[in-house]
Amino acid sequence: MKFDLLFSNPGLFLRKATRRVANHLLVLLSPAARRHSEVGPAVGWKETREVQLEYLKKFIRPEHYLLDLGCGTLRGGIPIIRFLQEGHYYGIEVRDNVLEIARKELQNEKLEHKNPKLIHVSDLSKGKIGRKFDFIWAHSVLIHMTDEILDSCLCFASEHLDSLGRLYANVNIGEKKDSTWKEFPIAFRSLQFYSEVASRHDLNCEEVGPWRNGEQTMLLFQLHGRG
């Protein structure tokens, strides 16, 4: 928690501090909140779940194939799995233990019959899924990548997008110093940085608009010369 905020913006400092305490309490008291906190704050988890399909529903149909890159515990994945046809959801994740939690969530939600593919990928530069996707959804994932991993990620996306496919990803646009979340960085980069990495992998990158409270930006990546 940054104490300089206490003097520059006491209201925001208080809101952030209250949220942090509420989150700690929730994680202490509730096993579900402990699971949920593997992918972000337990406070606001439900809203962060719901907003994902709500957003995607503007574009996706049940017959589309979607890859949830960095699917975590299926916070966003469960409603998407429910929406898509059987076998059309693929989730990939770097942390094996988190994927185990995802499998239990799937059982709890009685959604195993939708036959989603949950795949552990320890290194995206070696990941091969064996099919192309209409959509790749990377919710709060690119922000947790080093520049080298981001490069592998956009290479992976370029190889796995259908010719008209789209990758949507929320990012932090700015020049702030990286901080950390669990074993990952929290990255702030310029739009030009994302465009340059994308173009190395035959992808266009465009800004779609603000994401949620406007602290983040939604980017869309598509193959050059698509169609």
* Binding region for ligand SAM (CB under 6 A): 39-40, 70-72, 75-76, 92-95, 98, 121, 124, 139-141, 144-145, 149, 184
Terminal Cα distance for the chain, rounded:
48
Closer to ligand SAM by Cβ: residue 124 or 154 = 124
Nearest residue to the partner ligand SAM, using Cβ: 70
| Minimum separation from the CB atom of position 184 to ligand SAM (A) | 6
Is the Cβ of residue 72 or residue 116 nearer to ligand SAM in the bound state? 72
The interaxial angle of helices 147-160 and 191-200, nearest 10 deg, is: 50
- Closest approach, Cβ 68 to ligand SAM, in A, equals 6
Phi, psi at 182, each rounded to 5°: 50, -130
Q: Which is nearer to ligand SAM, 6 or 100 (CB)?
A: 100
Residue 109 gets which letter from DSSP? T
Distance, CA of 35 to CA of 104 (rounded, Å): 10
Q: For residues 158 and 222, what is the distance between their CA atoms, to the nearest angstrom?
A: 8
Residue 41: CB minimum distance to ligand SAM, A:
10
Query: Of 188, 219, 185, 217, nearest to 203 (Cα)?
Result: 219
Closest separation in Å from C-beta 121 to ligand SAM: 6
The residue (of 20 and 164) whose beta carbon lies closer to ligand SAM is: 20
Minimum CB separation of residue 29 from ligand SAM in Å reads 22
**Choice between 93 and 134, CB closer to ligand SAM:** 93
Residue whose C-alpha is closest to residue 71's, from 26, 47, 38? 38
